[in-house]
Copies of this chain bind each other. A is one copy, B any other.
Amino acid sequence: MAVHQLHYIAVVVVLIVSSSHAFDISYNATHFYVSLNGVELIRHSPEEPFLYVGSGIPTFEGQFGNYDVEDFVEERIALIDFLVDDQDPISVHFTLSRLDMLQVEIRFVTDVDGSLYYGEFVSLSDGINRVWMRLVAEEDEHVFGGGSQFSHLNMRGKKFPIWIQEQGVGRDKNYEITFKADQRDGGGGDYYTTYWAQPTFVSSRLYYAHFDTTTYSELDFRADDFHEIQIWGNSPSQFHFFTGSSYIELLQGLTGYLGRQPMPPEWIYNGTILGVQGGTEAMLNYIQMAEDHGIKVSGVWIQDWAGRITTSFGRRLFWNWEWSPEQYPNLDTVIPELKQRGIRVLVYANPNLNRLGGLYQEAVNADFLIKNSSGDPYIVDYGEFFCGIVDFTNPNASQWYKDRIIKQNMLDLGISGWMADFGEYLPIDAVFYSGAKGTDIHNEWPAIWAQVNREGVEEGGKMGDILFWMRAGYTGSQRYSVMTWAGDQFVDYGLADGIASVIPGTLSLGMSGYGMNHFDIGGYTSLFDVTRTEELFLRYAEMAAFTTMMRTHEGNRPDENWQFYSSSHTMYEFARHTKIYVALNDYVNSTIRENHELGIPVQRPLFLHYEDDERVYNIQYQYMFGRDLLVAPVIEQGRETWDVYLPTDDWIFLWDEDITSAGGETLTVPSPMGHIPVFFRSQSQWADTFRQLRDIEAVTVTPGPPESMTTSRSSTAMASHFLLAICLTIMASFW
């Protein structure tokens, strides 16, 4: 291991100041200060320097998308001295140094519109591959963002590695599920593991900071008096700041920079998307059964549309992204028929191609796959399931994926959307067409994958009608991804990875510039004999009615876990939640429009609208659904009542006009199954819409397994027989 030639290190950083002098920069011989619109951001002194530089030798261990990243820091040196080299109306140019020989140049810049404020590393000499930057912090400050953070909405007091990976199973080293998952394959995760990490945060001091890098980085909020941002690599580019008079203004600024999401297709408002499998007949039967029970169905999502192959683990989805007529006979004619009935068909794709498929062979022949160091296709073994990965750094490969898979195999077939899965598995030792290093492109990959999807839809002329939803994300996903989802929750009530976790996961993503999210109704991961119960499925369902969109998933072990079709009781209850969602359509649409136009997320932390109430800053399991609904999902088993904190406002309980509050208090409200604790603002223009939800009632049948169905409706008897047939065809494991 060599110490790089730090004698010659020079990092040039530039800070541009607008003619309106939004950046206020002052300095003397030893100190300098940078404020933006009155918010002090940087305070440099010899004792508390702004910048540290150095070098480190990283190790990345792990498998199956779970990474253990360690860094051996060889040097870390405070840049104590500085000179102001140059100054013009829009920028100030600093050279930061240590002992004359160790230098960094930074330019602080305001763009010509005076709307963008950033620091810029102008040059960074060979040898530096770590930069640590400190921003002013106050002891009672809160920070939010970091991408989709499932454990901590308020990130203060913790360090957050920014590295795209599996979110983990259990995600809490003190939780038994996590221990077992770690024992199994190191996949237990931790509080910071997420499919969507992003070096962006919003501070309660009313500024946002965003760091333009694709390398590994860390947001360290542990210290009382500073935030420290670590960035790897030898070319950190810019770090952006924006201040505002409110969080909403900050999010407008952030999404103005990062990009905002398009409006989703309007057909999603028609009800839920049903995740089912098993072939055309099974699909149609599921739809029929759902509609017979009153479930509002907007689409049917068939992840096995490309067929299945058999491995020693069982039958797996065939990752060869084209319609399998064997698996789905007549799908081409069924799709338009269903569309006529207002039901869309959605499928599944990811960047991998199974080595046994025709598309893999096409890609190999055209040299479109990521390579290993020997120049052969980089093959990932997903468990006797060998795949190549399309190299999206090659424009021709991306075009091929868009043409052959998105346009030809999906859009031309008439399908209306897909799960655009994966993005977090990119091997760091792979060789890319662009010459990018695996560690440099790893974080960016999900955004590139999102771009391919979006461009494919746009080139197909279908934007506004197609819903694709992505799991992994990073800076850039904001402008490309049509929809995201919260990943693979464990089918339990664990705070860090159970039903609760989707709430901070969604709210933190909103604070990172991505304002729409949804989740697998019921959760996904079932391991160690823990299976989804009817109660859990329905608690998810009642929450989903108060989110952007509804979609079920059968999970990784369909036949062992409770499904929407597992009983008539479930179907009738679920039907009611889809009706609630549909009844809220206009409100949801107006809220999504706020996200689309202004970057105000659909689901919002309470402090977005009640920023003066200090108590709301650490509430991460309640949210505002739009401006007027306060939602407090039940995230524990067997609860008949639930405590809801209400900030100061005029509140009416959604299910009982007699329960009201002027806020500033915690109310204990009834929370029986099917009645998620929700309050609305009495002065809302939607108040009558909300009140009308009380009239939506479910058909009453006894809860329980199919055997105990007591309703006389004809479809129910069919359901239990049909279930048996379904069980025989559905496979337990699914990627």
Stretch from A94-102, A415-423, A508-516 contacting the other chain: A94-102
A49 an interface residue at 8 Å Cβ cutoff? yes
Contact of A225 with B48 in the complex, beta carbons under 8 Å:
no
Stretch from A16-24, A74-82, A660-668 contacting the other chain: A74-82
Which residues of chain A from 154 to 210 have a CB within 8 Å of any chain B CB? 173-174, 176, 179, 182-183
Stretch from A1-9, A322-330, A352-360 contacting the other chain: A1-9
A47 an interface residue at 8 Å Cβ cutoff? yes
* Smallest CB separation, A68 vs chain B (Å): 12
CA of A286 to CA of B644 in the docked complex: distance in angstroms? Answer: 63
- Specify the chain B residue showing the minimal Cβ separation from A132: B74
**Contact check: which of B72, B74, B223 meets A1 at CB < 8 Å?**
B223
A3: chain B residues at CB < 8 Å are: 46-49, 78, 80
A6: chain B residues at CB < 8 Å are: 78, 80
Contact of A2 with B100 in the complex, beta carbons under 8 Å:
no
A7: chain B residues at CB < 8 Å are: 80, 99
A47: chain B residues at CB < 8 Å are: 2-3
A247 an interface residue at 8 Å Cβ cutoff? no
- Specify the chain B residue showing the minimal Cβ separation from A47: B2
CA of A103 to CA of B73 in the docked complex: distance in angstroms? Answer: 21
A54 an interface residue at 8 Å Cβ cutoff? yes
A76: chain B residues at CB < 8 Å are: 54, 73-77
A54: chain B residues at CB < 8 Å are: 76
CA of A176 to CA of B552 in the docked complex: distance in angstroms? Answer: 34
A651 an interface residue at 8 Å Cβ cutoff? no
**Contact check: which of B52, B100, B226 meets A75 at CB < 8 Å?**
B52
- Specify the chain B residue showing the minimal Cβ separation from A100: B99
CA of A6 to CA of B81 in the docked complex: distance in angstroms? Answer: 12
Contact of A2 with B176 in the complex, beta carbons under 8 Å:
no
Given contacts A174-B182, A179-B179, contact A1 B75 (CB under 8 A): no
CA of A48 to CA of B3 in the docked complex: distance in angstroms? Answer: 6
CA of A505 to CA of B182 in the docked complex: distance in angstroms? Answer: 27
CA of A77 to CA of B80 in the docked complex: distance in angstroms? Answer: 14
A78: chain B residues at CB < 8 Å are: 3, 6, 74-75
In the complex, per-residue mask of A57-82: 1 if CB is within 8 Å of any chain B CB, else 0: 00000000000000011111110100
- Specify the chain B residue showing the minimal Cβ separation from A222: B72
Contact of A75 with B77 in the complex, beta carbons under 8 Å:
yes
CA of A693 to CA of B418 in the docked complex: distance in angstroms? Answer: 76
Contact of A73 with B73 in the complex, beta carbons under 8 Å:
yes
- Specify the chain B residue showing the minimal Cβ separation from A224: B1
CA of A173 to CA of B76 in the docked complex: distance in angstroms? Answer: 31
A99: chain B residues at CB < 8 Å are: 7, 98-102
A222: chain B residues at CB < 8 Å are: 72
A101: chain B residues at CB < 8 Å are: 99
* Smallest CB separation, A610 vs chain B (Å): 33
CA of A72 to CA of B220 in the docked complex: distance in angstroms? Answer: 11
A46: chain B residues at CB < 8 Å are: 3, 5
A174: chain B residues at CB < 8 Å are: 182-183
CA of A20 to CA of B1 in the docked complex: distance in angstroms? Answer: 34
* Smallest CB separation, A255 vs chain B (Å): 34
Contact of A48 with B2 in the complex, beta carbons under 8 Å:
yes
* Smallest CB separation, A496 vs chain B (Å): 14
A49: chain B residues at CB < 8 Å are: 3
CA of A85 to CA of B98 in the docked complex: distance in angstroms? Answer: 26
* Smallest CB separation, A702 vs chain B (Å): 39
CA of A527 to CA of B397 in the docked complex: distance in angstroms? Answer: 58
In the complex, per-residue mask of A213-246: 1 if CB is within 8 Å of any chain B CB, else 0: 0000000001101100000000000000000000
CA of A47 to CA of B1 in the docked complex: distance in angstroms? Answer: 8
CA of A501 to CA of B183 in the docked complex: distance in angstroms? Answer: 21
* Smallest CB separation, A128 vs chain B (Å): 13
* Smallest CB separation, A63 vs chain B (Å): 15
CA of A5 to CA of B98 in the docked complex: distance in angstroms? Answer: 12
CA of A578 to CA of B7 in the docked complex: distance in angstroms? Answer: 68
- Specify the chain B residue showing the minimal Cβ separation from A99: B99
CA of A362 to CA of B590 in the docked complex: distance in angstroms? Answer: 77
- Specify the chain B residue showing the minimal Cβ separation from A225: B1
Q: Among the interface residues A47, A72, A77, which one has the most CB atoms of the partner chain B within 10 A?
A: A77
Which residues of chain A from 83 to 118 have a CB within 8 Å of any chain B CB? 98-102
A5: chain B residues at CB < 8 Å are: 46
CA of A76 to CA of B47 in the docked complex: distance in angstroms? Answer: 16
CA of A691 to CA of B226 in the docked complex: distance in angstroms? Answer: 72
A100: chain B residues at CB < 8 Å are: 99
CA of A226 to CA of B179 in the docked complex: distance in angstroms? Answer: 34
* Smallest CB separation, A503 vs chain B (Å): 25
- Specify the chain B residue showing the minimal Cβ separation from A178: B179
CA of A47 to CA of B7 in the docked complex: distance in angstroms? Answer: 11
Contact of A48 with B1 in the complex, beta carbons under 8 Å:
yes
In the complex, per-residue mask of A253-270: 1 if CB is within 8 Å of any chain B CB, else 0: 000000000000000000
A173: chain B residues at CB < 8 Å are: 182
CA of A1 to CA of B224 in the docked complex: distance in angstroms? Answer: 9
* Smallest CB separation, A185 vs chain B (Å): 11
CA of A49 to CA of B3 in the docked complex: distance in angstroms? Answer: 8
- Specify the chain B residue showing the minimal Cβ separation from A77: B77
CA of A77 to CA of B1 in the docked complex: distance in angstroms? Answer: 15
* Smallest CB separation, A454 vs chain B (Å): 41
- Specify the chain B residue showing the minimal Cβ separation from A226: B1
A183: chain B residues at CB < 8 Å are: 174, 176
**Contact check: which of B74, B80, B98, B179 meets A176 at CB < 8 Å?**
B179
- Specify the chain B residue showing the minimal Cβ separation from A6: B78
- Specify the chain B residue showing the minimal Cβ separation from A54: B76
A176: chain B residues at CB < 8 Å are: 179, 183
Q: Among the interface residues A49, A75, A225, which one has the most CB atoms of the partner chain B within 10 A?
A: A75
Query: What 4 A-B pairs come out closest when comparing CB atoms?
Result: A99-B99, A2-B47, A179-B179, A76-B76
The contact sample of 27 A-B pairs, CB cut-off 8 A, is A1-B48, A1-B223, A1-B226, A2-B48, A3-B47, A3-B48, A3-B78, A6-B80, A52-B74, A52-B75, A54-B76, A73-B73, A73-B76, A74-B76, A74-B78, A75-B76, A75-B77, A75-B78, A76-B76, A98-B99, A99-B99, A99-B100, A99-B102, A173-B182, A174-B182, A174-B183, A176-B179
Given A7-B99, A99-B100, 8 additional A-B pairs, CB 8 A: A1-B223, A1-B226, A2-B47, A3-B48, A3-B78, A5-B46, A72-B223, A74-B76
